[in-house]
């Protein structure tokens, strides 16, 4: 008799996660400010959501599944399935196609090289100018700017307020009761309120 505890398989509705992330994240691009470059916000948001889920739901196995392209058995069972939904936005369609393409083989070395070059440039800016040197780029990508948030930290009770960005030294700026509080902590988590 096998007394080992049962193993858990976590299945994630990838299409739903991608759609939610697309609408929750700002318009992030591979080349910031260039509307013609590849949209990256949905992928970034989806990765963050998946990482959070993996922390919250312990599972030995996990898989992310996506809707099949075109009609499915649901359409046969219920012809009005998804009839009320608006068409998928073009940027989301491009991201979805890139994620779901079965023959899309990424050149991992080229990807790692590009990521390392970008990281090196940011680290060099940070080394010479501190957080203030990268604050404009950080602010442009900050999803919670001027939004109601809940702040979670290992070192303080949960707090709610309006996120006002970050200060020149990297302190998170949280407005509560009309006052700006500087939050300096190594590990904080912001959630939409």
Dist. CA 66–CA 187, nearest whole Å: 32
* 3-state SS string for 61-85: EEEEECCCCCCCHHHHHCCCCCCCC
Please say whether the beta carbons of 126 and 134 come within 8 A: yes
Look at phi and psi of residue 52 and say left if phi exceeds 0, alpha if psi is from -120 to 50, else beta: alpha
Instruction: State the pTM of this model.
Output: 0.48
| Helices of type H across the chain | 14-24, 41-56, 73-77, 90-100, 108-141
Whole-number pLDDT of residue 1: 53
How far does Cα 154 stand from its chain's mean position? 21
Q: Along the 193 residues of the chain, how does pLDDT read in single tens digits?
A: 556 677 788 888 888 888 888 888 887 777 777 778 778 888 888 888 888 888 888 888 888 887 777 777 777 877 877 777 778 888 888 777 767 655 555 555 665 666 677 778 778 888 888 888 888 877 877 778 898 999 887 777 888 999 999 999 889 999 999 999 998 876 777 788 8
């Amino acid at each position: 008799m096998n007394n080992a505890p049962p193993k858990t398989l976590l299945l994630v509705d990838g299409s739903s996660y991608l759609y939610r992330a697309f609408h929750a994240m700002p318009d992030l691009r591979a080349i910031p400010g260039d509307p013609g470059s590849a949209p990256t916000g949905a992928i970034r948001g989806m990765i963050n959501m998946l990482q959070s889920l993996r922390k919250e739901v312990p599972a030995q196995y996990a898989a992310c599944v996506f809707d099949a392209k075109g009609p499915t058995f649901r359409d046969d069972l219920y012809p009005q399935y998804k009839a009320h939904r608006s068409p998928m936005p073009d940027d989301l369609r491009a991201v979805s196609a890139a994620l779901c393409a079965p023959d899309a083989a990424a050149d991992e070395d080229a990807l790692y090289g590009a990521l390392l070059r970008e990281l090196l440039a940011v680290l060099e800016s940070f080394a010479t100018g501190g957080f203030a040197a990268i604050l404009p780029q950080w602010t442009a990508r900050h999803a919670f700017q001027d939004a109601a948030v809940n702040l979670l930290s290992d070192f303080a009770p949960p707090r709610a307020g309006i996120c006002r960005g970050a200060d020149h030294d990297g302190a998170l700026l949280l407005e509560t009761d009309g006052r700006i509080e500087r939050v300096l902590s190594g590990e904080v988590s912001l959630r939409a309120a």
